Structure 1
């Protein structure tokens, strides 16, 4: 009998699924402290949470029997996925259950802001009949700029089109073909800022998207632009937004999420009459709660009963019978994909994968899935891309994935080569797993190299001349970052060269810029594997 702990409220429909499962029993324990959760988690094989329970490394380390953690929802900010992976615990979420609810909520926020519904409601509740004060704006004919055309962004576009809005969007990972199918126009961010009457955000929070809309960006926008954020707090700089709302540069804002949640009730945004704010209600519909409850109950039961796993974020799916052959290459495949994903710039057009050697004799789909998962999740900074949906996301965005196989053996028993191209650049990397189990990067853009794909890697393209290594090493040392190892490759004497530096810590953007300022350096990338 497998036991599941449900530590956050779950829909009755989700609980009914657990009730009807053979060999499964569960306990409901809501509102536990961290200490209480640590004290009891050791007796459970499964854990189901929403956003309230914080599944930290301490909790995971105490989960002696746990095999699966299920998040009823999309975000995994409250689950230490790395700690769970190290402990061999499957982590899964439900990325599809609240798509419609969040898209509809975005439209509700847009209409509320444009027609000043909350403000006029409050005025009438206070005994005032003031029609002139609450003159709004129509949506028809306005231009909606969508940042992020994933599942939710796509649904928002469809609904906004029904209102007669013109749709422009920024998403470097959607093809022209997909954009034409959706009848939207893909443009870069500065152009979107200049053209949009309304801007809505539907992208994950990451190092690159934190503070995406700040003072500089607001200055580029049309006077009176309206801003909506139903994605994640922190993507919009709240202090800069507050000033832009006060000055009238931003005519209105609608926020479902905040930098800090729950926010301080003294947040100055709450005092502004042109800012609609609600307490993170994007997925708060009865239908979404039912959907994610049922989805996560089914997924956790399947995982505990040894059935095919769905929406796992930290494990590949390997066919029975070929685990021993493909298993050693899953890790290096994902890391090579992640490496390319961090090197590529601009919108992806295609991913070409070549398998050479013994691997070519088998169904290498699990390796392709691992590569695409690593590549897209790194390039798009989207933690919801996993081994189940990676190929679907690529297809949805019009990114072609092409496999080729040859069983001719070269210098290594097996070799995996990934080539990607965008409008801006092409990148090719090769790698393998050695007989010892050690993973290796063997080639980057024609340069032969043998490097371990792990840790913080600084990758430089440079001229081949004396003194460069010393200059770069000095700059890195000035940030007090230690160098673990360095590999150098060149095609010929005096030609171009490539170097990889393994660092104990990632260097700052300022240090990377200083390295790029060296006349001998033609490109520099910081990669984390």
Structure 2
């Protein structure tokens, strides 16, 4: 069955065309759905494309029985319950650069509008008033602009403001001073920015660190007559504090494009004569809407048809050129995890994933997530995949570690997985890729082998003695089980052997019990990979 994509907000014609023109996809265009309507429409859907209108709540996600990816045309994902999507193994994508220029231009426009009091002057003119003296503004050249958040939009704002000959100071906890200097920005502390800036603009997400960032206390640290701009997210500025700052004269003007509740209604802040308010227009240009629609359509289509991941908020990106390379390693890691989960009864408190040779030259995060998913999915009732596996491990207090070495030994490439349990117990497996890219198990504890890792199989550990293999083969034959392949491994020091019997169909549980009861059989498992 072809993957199905639901578009629940209005999207440009080119964005829809990008989805509908992708071979192997079916597209359902239903803009303007309410939450209850979306709950019904989401059933059986593999991909969801939205803008800011649709609310992808926990209720919607709970109804999404087949959903794999949510694509947001734009940057902000406040309307998506990302933690819940992650727990359910759903990828959330956005388009972080598609409307960056447009939003940055709007922030600069807002700044200039309050610096030169353009909206107030225009309103007076429409009333037949010539308010030249009242609307005297300030020149921005030579003034200091404080930019909080130096991501894509913040950097463009700084660049544009530099073109106006403003001095730029910036704050961002994850940007180095050297990188900021390359961008022409002096990196300072938040308190120093508040003290030095003639105008301040924020370009950050709304989170526990930025909620109420501008409040009575921080406004008190600012220069008298400061100008404040918010084209990022409602809630970063405390509205009541802004009103008090305006009334006291501490703040000379505020320009806002975003609100805690949208639409906000006619609030005291919006009515204030020194406030310029726009209805969340940051990304509202023809060019930006066209660009983000096409970008998100291409991203969602690429993931559903090729597995390429780009601009994901909750899983490592896999560029198109690396997807064919990483794919076999992800399948190998997942197969190792599935195998180990079915042949070990150790309750994991620690999991270590290793990579050697060629595998160590690749991004390890997608391989690690695939291994975790393969392992944990067999332990738990709730579905686990590469998106939610790290969260599942963290929630259960399982410590995940990784190691890599580009040195090669017997194999040119190797992925290993070790599960650590209580009391110092552990069990490990290792695998490699065959020439055709399929997974091979090459080590199980001290046992060495080269066995296919796919499909249904009977897995044995037994004493290395004559006749064991023959008796097991007879048992299978008498039960009408067809064996398509049998591969063995040996731990010579312990005089123990292992064998993997690839079978057609499902092993009856009583047959597995009979195998376990056979002479010299130490362990027997019914295993299914994939």
- TM bucket by the smaller chain? 0.5 to 0.7
**Shift of the alpha carbon at 1:166?**
0.6
Matched with 1:323 is 330
Match of 1:382 in 2: none
Q: CA deviation at 1:67?
A: 2.3
Partners of 2:147 and 2:264 in 1: how far apart? 25
Give 2:375's aligned residue. none
String of CA shifts for 1:412-443, please: whole Å, max 9, x gaps.
xx999xxxxxxxxxxxxxxx962569xx9xxx
| Equivalence for 1:90 | 91
Q: 2:99·2:292 contact (CA, 8 Å) conserved in 1?
A: yes
Contact kept? 1:252, 1:275, Cα under 8 Å:
yes
Task: Please name the residue that 1:495 is paired with.
Answer: none
| CA–CA distance in structure 2, aligned partners of residues 433 and 157 of structure 1 | 48
Give CA deviations for 1:113-142 in whole Å, capped at 9, x if unaligned: 101111111111111122111101111100
Residue in 1 that maps onto 2:5: 4
DSSP-derived class of the 2:15 partner: helix
- The answer to whether the Cα contact below 8 Å between 1:140 and 1:165 also exists between their aligned partners in 2 is yes
Alpha carbons 1:98, 1:283 under 8 Å: kept: yes
Equivalence for 1:516: none
How far apart are residue 37 of structure 1 and its match?
A: 1.6
In structure 1, what is the equivalent of residue 66 of structure 2? 65
Task: Structure 2: give runs of 5+ residues left out of the alignment.
Answer: 338-351, 369-385, 388-402, 426-530
Match runs of 1:29-428 below 5 Å:
29-265=30-266, 267-316=267-316, 317=318, 319-323=326-330, 326=333, 358-361=354-357, 362-363=359-360, 365-367=362-364, 405=405
RMSD: 3.2
Shift in alpha-carbon separation, 1:369–1:136, aligned structure 2, 3 A: farther
How far the C-alpha of 1:173 sits from its partner, in A, is: 1.6
Shift of 1:366: 2.9
Alpha-carbon separation, structure 2, partners of 1:242 and 1:258: 14
Matched residue of 2:168: which SS? strand
What secondary structure does 2:310 align onto? coil
What CA distance in whole angstroms lies between the structure 2 residues aligned with 1:178 and 1:18? 38
C-alpha separation in 1, matches of 2:29 and 2:218 = 46
Mapped partners of 2:314, 2:216: distance in 1: 37
What SS is found at the alignment partner of 2:157? helix
Local SS of the residue matching 2:195: helix
Q: CA deviation at 1:202?
A: 1.0
Separation in 2, partners of 1:142, 1:123 = 27
Q: How far has the Cα of 1:407 moved from its partner?
A: 7.1
Superposed CA offset, 1:33-73 (max 9, x none): 22222222213222111111111222122222322221111
SS in 2 for 1:118: helix
- Structure 1 residues 360-413: Cα deviation after superposition (integer angstroms, max 9, x where no partner): 432364336899xxxxxxxxxxxxxx99xxxxxxxxxxxxxxx9748799xxxx
Q: C-alpha separation between the residues in 1 aligned to 2:315 and 2:221?
A: 43
Per-residue CA shift, 1:64-123, capped at 9, x if unaligned? Answer: 232222111111121122332333322211111110001100110011110111111111
**1:433, 1:139 → 2: CA distance?**
60
Determine helix, strand or coil for the equivalent of 1:167.
strand
Equivalent residue number for residue 419 of structure 2: 434
Equivalent residue runs for 1:485-496 within 5 Å? none
Instruction: Provide the TM-score with structure 1 as the length reference.
Output: 0.64
Assess if the C-alpha contact under 8 Å between 2:10 and 2:32 holds in 1: no
CA contact (8 A) 1:326 1:364 kept: no
* Gap change, CA 1:357 and 1:6, over 3 Å in 2: closer
**Contact 2:144–2:167 (8 Å) recurs in 1:** yes
In 1, distance between residues paired with 2:187 and 2:354? 42
- Quote the offset at 1:175 in angstroms: 1.6
1:26 & 1:357 partners in 2: Cα distance? 39
Please tell me whether the aligned partners of residues 144 and 165 of structure 1 are also in contact (alpha carbons under 8 angstroms).
Answer: yes
Report the more deviating stretch, 300-309 or 97-106: 300-309
Query: Aligned equivalents of 1:76 and 1:358: distance in 2?
Result: 34
Change (3 A) 1:33 1:183: closer
Provide Cα deviations, 1:294-326, integer angstroms capped at 9, x if missing partner: 001111111121242211222334712222565
Unaligned ranges ≥5, structure 1:
331-355, 372-385, 388-402, 417-431, 441-529
- Once the two structures are superposed, residues 220-271 of structure 1 have per-residue CA deviations (whole angstroms, 9 ceiling, x without a partner) of 1111010111111111111111100111101111111122222132x11122
Contact residue 326 and residue 367 of structure 1 kept, 8 A: no
Deviation at 1:27, TM superposition (A): 2.0
Q: Check 1:184–1:404 CA distance in 2 against 1; reply closer, same or farther (3 A cut).
A: farther
- The secondary structure found in structure 2 opposite 1:121 is helix
Pair 12,407 (structure 1): closer, same or farther in 2 beyond 3 Å: same
Q: Could you say if the C-alpha distance between residues 20 and 407 of structure 1 is closer, same or farther in structure 2, counting changes exceeding 3 Å?
A: closer
Q: 1:223 to 1:328 in 2, by over 3 A?
A: farther
